[in-house]
Structure 1
Amino acid sequence: MMLELPKDLVEEILSRLSATTLKRLQSTCKQWNDIINDREFAGKHFSKAAKQHLVVMMKNFNVHLVSVNVDEIHNDIDPSIKDIGELSLNKPYQVYINGMVHCNGLLLCITKGYTPMVWNPCTGKINWVVEPSRAYDVYDKFAFGYEYKKSCYNFKILRIQYVCGRKTHTYTTHGKEIYDFNSSSWRTLNVTRIWPLISRVVSLKGNAYWFTYEYKEGVRNSSLLSFDFSKEIFGNICVPFQFNGDYLVELSVIRENKLAVLLQRWALEIEIWVTDNIEPNGNGVSWNHFLAVDLGVTIPPISDVFSYAMSFFIDEDNKVGLIWDNNNGVRVHIAGEDYYREIVVGEKGICLPLMCCYIPSLLQI
């Protein structure tokens, strides 16, 4: 006879297992299935369970899981980056994904028709977004985050509509909207003008961050912008370096608690900075210098700067940056202060970003 444990004790035990393990255990019994599919338990599980830090890559308009191993590179053992396989959408869904933003195990996916949807690859659940009053457009930019209130996640999408001038080829803001999944509706956001993006949008602790630029007296100036999904306000974040709009900058989220910035000057010099602390209003932000590398002196030397399709993440333990780029095929540049390797992982593609870090979760919209 099987011993029946109190539900509270079962929840406590299950909340300490990984999300992927729980999905495999879901069919064990009805009680476990009910607990694992419970929205309140999913939130409790995400805050308590050990996180699995994985990597996903865009390939042929699909999302692929990738294994990355650089643990022995300083012992003269080559790094390993392998495509494990496609993360398939549940039938009958078959869409082509053109871009994505990760937040707490959920992927905001932008389809080839510029329509956003939210997908949890771990549970397979998909949430489509209600059509806005103004149709989606190729110039639309999206951010993804949440308001955390009374132990519940209220996920939201920020849509910034841009118009590209045919003669000047410059972008101006046409409108800003918020989609609230609790109400399944769009509403206009009345804020000041937002300048065009020059980096990918990332989500950290429910808030969004990206680099933008504006022209002042003919000079292109860049800044790091944030959006607080709880207060629905924008903020400016101080960065620890001086740069202009001609430099390449990119953002990455490290283990869901730090923001990393990569700066590349045209001389093939890259710097990576990582936050110790960051708030969307910019107060109390502090940065640590993580890495500085001159790729012009690597063997073999790199002759081209990275493209604007570039994305990256860092391995803090091995003190290297892994930079994914789209020049002459999808390549991963693994760079440290005294280390450099290059690995080809696929053919040239047009999906952005090329990769992002991913944490499986049971969270629901």
Structure 2
Amino acid sequence: MSDLPEDLVEEILSWVPAISLKPLRSTCKRWKALLKEPRFNEKHFRKAPNQSCVVMLKEYRLFPMSIDLNVVPPSIEFKGALDLKSSRLNSEQLDIAKVFHCDGLLLCITKDNRPVVCNPYLGETRWIQHENGYKRYSRFALGYENNKSGRTYKILMFYEFNRRVSGFEIYEFSSNSWRVVNDPIWVRICYSGVTLKGNAYWISGGKDHSLRSFDFTRERFGRLAPTCQKCGYMALSVVRDEQLSVLHWSVGSAEVEMWVTNNINTEAELSWSKSFAVDMQSSSPFTSLLIDEEKKVALCCDSCFFPYRKVYTIGEDDEYHVEIPYLTDPVLLHYTNPGEGSWWPLFFNYVPSLVQIQS
């Protein structure tokens, strides 16, 4: 390939999955420099096939999962936890209570409520500092602004009081600084959020369970179509980087429903449709991820405060299988303060990428 024109080499490498590019960084200095260029990273992210894996946050660590839907019942196996160190000089592993995923970057909120951004694939870690420190009830989200030069990654921080949030600030990676955002909106957020196409989404409280979004380009909150009119517990997740899905469990009912939106990038008004429903009997699912929309199969688990603490695969026609316990450390079964500093079970699709943590 050394005899090929540079633009052709770049085009070829832009189609190679990220997981296969990592060893190529040591091939030659020219390739190593190319793989670090933000322009190439942007091109690679658009063209290369995504080789995603399901990751679960449990016991303050992030565990990749091996899932086989071609056997009955489907098999689930936890692999070793991702190696997320405090820094290159400190081998201590991060204690993660919450996490946001965007383009291969992980915004991890630690047990003591401090934000740190990691790229596990590249082995990069960056602590996000604030001159005034972080309040006890600070909340965070990761996203990006689309501009002419590509994607500019940002972090949203807001403060929560009495289940309502205000006091918005934005951190920009390019300037390494925080600034206040004067969005007058007050929102009530009850469920864990996700990032899709650069914007953050949450399900808000209230009678209609509306969808709240934050546009990182315009730096404004928005209110989208409600997911369901019935009260109950919900969990929000992303489908193939195109749609949102919601697991809904009504209070007093054994039925668990999976709802899916139309594609987020369309100009049409956001709409929801029920994918399938399952009778889970006495189960209490807390978080979920739609892992196969064609087969209509979802991965879910109950809250760590319910007695089951198991991972499930559920599917239409009332087919579901109780798989395995997801807690192994008996010490973590007991919490002195479950509201703050505690991890909550969470699934997401992690896609390795060459996106660097901008300095």
* TM-score, normalised with respect to structure 1: 0.86
Asked if 1:183 corresponds to 2:172, the answer is no
Alignment of 1:88-237 (within 5 A): 88-89=83-84, 91-93=88-90, 94=92, 95-133=94-132, 135-163=133-161, 170-214=162-206, 222-237=209-224
**Conserved? CA contact 2:166–2:186, under 8 Å:** no
Deviation string, structure 1 residues 327-351 (Cα, Å, up to 9, x no partner):
3364211111231101114216542
CA-CA distance at 1:194 after TM superposition: 2.6
Query: What is the distance in 2 between the residues matched to 1:353 and 1:342?
Result: 16
Counterpart residue number, 1:299:
none
Comparing 28-37 with 190-199, greater Cα deviation is found at 190-199
**Conserved? CA contact 1:100–1:353, under 8 Å:** no
**Conserved? CA contact 2:65–2:76, under 8 Å:** yes
Evaluate the alpha carbon distance shift between residue 10 and residue 21 of structure 1 in structure 2; reply closer, same or farther with a 3 A threshold. Answer: same
**Conserved? CA contact 2:209–2:228, under 8 Å:** no
**Conserved? CA contact 1:278–1:286, under 8 Å:** no
CA-CA distance at 1:199 after TM superposition: 1.0
Query: What is the distance in 2 between the residues matched to 1:88 and 1:316?
Result: 30
Query: What is the distance in 2 between the residues matched to 1:316 and 1:221?
Result: 25
Evaluate the alpha carbon distance shift between residue 78 and residue 63 of structure 1 in structure 2; reply closer, same or farther with a 3 A threshold. Answer: same
Evaluate the alpha carbon distance shift between residue 199 and residue 137 of structure 1 in structure 2; reply closer, same or farther with a 3 A threshold. Answer: same
Evaluate the alpha carbon distance shift between residue 279 and residue 29 of structure 1 in structure 2; reply closer, same or farther with a 3 A threshold. Answer: closer
4+ residue stretches of structure 1 with deviation over 6 A?
none
**Conserved? CA contact 2:116–2:126, under 8 Å:** yes
Counterpart residue number, 2:314:
335
**Conserved? CA contact 2:100–2:106, under 8 Å:** yes
Asked if 1:316 corresponds to 2:316, the answer is no
Query: What is the distance in 1 between the residues matched to 2:107 and 2:289?
Result: 19
**Conserved? CA contact 2:208–2:228, under 8 Å:** no
Q: How many residues align?
A: 337
Counterpart residue number, 2:338:
none
Counterpart residue number, 1:241:
228
Query: What is the distance in 1 between the residues matched to 2:32 and 2:307?
Result: 47
**Conserved? CA contact 1:145–1:155, under 8 Å:** yes
CA-CA distance at 1:7 after TM superposition: 1.4
**Conserved? CA contact 1:198–1:249, under 8 Å:** no
Query: What is the distance in 2 between the residues matched to 1:175 and 1:3?
Result: 54
Q: Aligned-pair RMSD on alpha carbons?
A: 2.2
1:261 aligned counterpart, secondary structure: strand
**Conserved? CA contact 1:104–1:359, under 8 Å:** yes
Evaluate the alpha carbon distance shift between residue 345 and residue 5 of structure 1 in structure 2; reply closer, same or farther with a 3 A threshold. Answer: farther
Q: Structure 1 vs Structure 2: percent identity of aligned residues?
A: 40
Query: What is the distance in 2 between the residues matched to 1:318 and 1:41?
Result: 35
Deviation string, structure 1 residues 57-79 (Cα, Å, up to 9, x no partner):
22332222211111x24xxx331
Counterpart residue number, 2:337:
none
Evaluate the alpha carbon distance shift between residue 249 and residue 8 of structure 1 in structure 2; reply closer, same or farther with a 3 A threshold. Answer: same
2:112 aligned counterpart, secondary structure: coil
CA-CA distance at 1:97 after TM superposition: 1.5
Letter in 2 for 1:236: R
Evaluate the alpha carbon distance shift between residue 150 and residue 56 of structure 1 in structure 2; reply closer, same or farther with a 3 A threshold. Answer: same
Query: What is the distance in 1 between the residues matched to 2:290 and 2:137?
Result: 26
**Conserved? CA contact 1:100–1:352, under 8 Å:** no
- Structure 1: give runs of 5+ residues left out of the alignment: 164-169, 215-219, 297-302
Alignment of 1:11-26 (within 5 A): 11-26=10-25
**Correspondent of 2:277 among 279, 292, 296:** 292
